[in-house]
Amino acid sequence: MDMQSTKVSSPISSGIELAKRTRVRYMILFVLFVITTINYADRSIISIAGTPMSKELGLNAVAMGYVFSAFSWAYVIGQLPGGWFLDRYGSKRIYTLSIFFWSLFTLLQGFVGFLVAGTAIITLFALRFMVGLAEAPSFPANSRIVSAWFPAKERGMASAIFNSAQYLATVIFAPIMGWLTSSFGWKYVFIVMGVAGLALCAIWVKTIYGPKEHPRVNQAELEYIEQGAPWFIWTNPGEETRRAPNPSGAI
């Protein structure tokens, strides 16, 4: 009787193979976490700087109500177009534009104080609206990038980590923004956060790639990511063919 040999990987060889696997996906997740923290800090600046801003510009409660609502209106309006642009042009390109423009519009809010009251409220409303529009693709892009970089068994934890950034933003940046407002004035909160966002945009461009495009990822990590793909192409009853979630490796 013919005996067929079976190759069994020992714990030692498995350990060596595991040690060779890169961990680039965790660096990608860290960058997403930092960007999301800045995202939430920028959208919440108005809650810190709003009171001194309204006093200096002579804006009443109704005017400030319009200013506060501008972001939310734009954020809702931008969700579907933002998702379409992500699918059409890719997460890196659209997210880069998103970070750049929400940071730029945040920075420009610091110069509203040089305008007269009537012009100031219109400009402030428009800038807050544009911040909301620019930030709209951010969370769909986060989910898209996590799906590309993490196997199915790790996506829940990865999503929980970048989602927690919204709460860390309050913990870290609320005291900093309060200090900037009381020490230097409300204008500097927008300027500092806008400049920080533009700097992070440059870091984003240099660090974010698709799995198969990243210069530091190795084949072992790529295979690990693709093994966790939850999608199947069903052909005949009882027959299935697994495919990678993103065969091109692009994001």
Q: What is the pLDDT of residues 108-117, one digit of tens each?
A: 999 998 887 7
How far apart CA 73 and CA 85 sit, in angstroms, is 19
Q: Which of 54-68, 120-134, 183-197 is predicted least confidently?
A: 54-68
Residue 33 — pLDDT band, cuts 50, 70, 90? very high
Buried/exposed 145-172: b ≥16 CB within 10 Å, e otherwise: bbbbbbbeebbeebbebbeebbeebeee
Residue 178 — pLDDT band, cuts 50, 70, 90? very high
Mean pLDDT of 166-174: 89
Indicate if the pLDDT at residue 240 is higher than 70. Answer: no
**Percent residues over pLDDT 70 in the chain:** 83
Cβ–Cβ under 8 Å, residues 45 and 189: yes
Residue 229 — pLDDT band, cuts 50, 70, 90? low
How far apart CA 106 and CA 197 sit, in angstroms, is 9
Would strands 232-234 and 240-242 be described as parallel, antiparallel, or unpaired? antiparallel
Residue 251 — pLDDT band, cuts 50, 70, 90? confident
Give the tokens for residue 158.
């990865």
What pLDDT does 116 receive?
77
> How many C-beta atoms lie closer than 10 Å to residue 58's C-beta?
12
DSSP 21-82: S--HHHHHHHHHHHHHHHHHHHHHHHHHHHHHHHHHHT--HHHHHHHHHHHHHHHHHHHHHH
Mean pLDDT of 15-27: 75
What pLDDT does 36 receive?
95
What pLDDT does 57 receive?
87
Short-list 37, 154, 130, CA closest to 75: 130
Short-list 242, 249, 202, CA closest to 222: 249
Indicate if the pLDDT at residue 230 is higher than 60. Answer: no
What pLDDT does 250 receive?
63
How far apart CA 204 and CA 138 sit, in angstroms, is 13
> At CA 174, angle to CA 169 and CA 180, rounded to 5?
130
How far apart CA 162 and CA 146 sit, in angstroms, is 9
